[in-house]
Amino acid sequence: GIQVEQSPPDLILQEGANSTLRCNFSDSVNNLQWFHQNPWGQLINLFYIPSGTKQNGRLSATTVATERYSLLYISSSQTTDSGVYFCAVGGGADGLTFGKGTHLIIQP
């Protein structure tokens, strides 16, 4: 099956800092989604981005499908950005394969 690798596994930053999270995947995909899992376990859908670039406020994402990677950018971090960020990929109609996540801690 498809492999998904996320880096870094852990990231500790001061409030106000910028960060880049990376997701590499081993095969072509029709679905790539970025999620933020909050401390209560809820998966917040950040982006559906199988290719191209999108922005939503302080967050943006870019997927280069031909090179099989995606990047999630967080600017001007806030403590509420803390949590686990997951990248998940799939073939379209299939279930998603999740990476192991990046555990982000934003310190005040």
Q: Which residues bind other proteins (CB under 8 A)?
A: 30-31, 33, 35, 40-43, 45, 48, 50, 86, 88, 90, 92-101
Between 6 and 77, CB nearer to other proteins? 6
Between 18 and 30, CB nearer to other proteins? 30
Between 18 and 55, CB nearer to other proteins? 55
Cβ atoms within 10 Å, residue 31: 17
Whether 22 contacts 40, CB under 8 Å: no
CB of residue 16 to other proteins, shortest distance in Å: 28
CA atoms of 80 and 33, how far apart (whole Å): 20
Cβ atoms within 10 Å, residue 50: 17
CB of residue 93 to other proteins, shortest distance in Å: 7
CA atoms of 99 and 108, how far apart (whole Å): 28
CB of residue 80 to other proteins, shortest distance in Å: 18
Q: Identity (one letter) of the amino acid at 23?
A: C
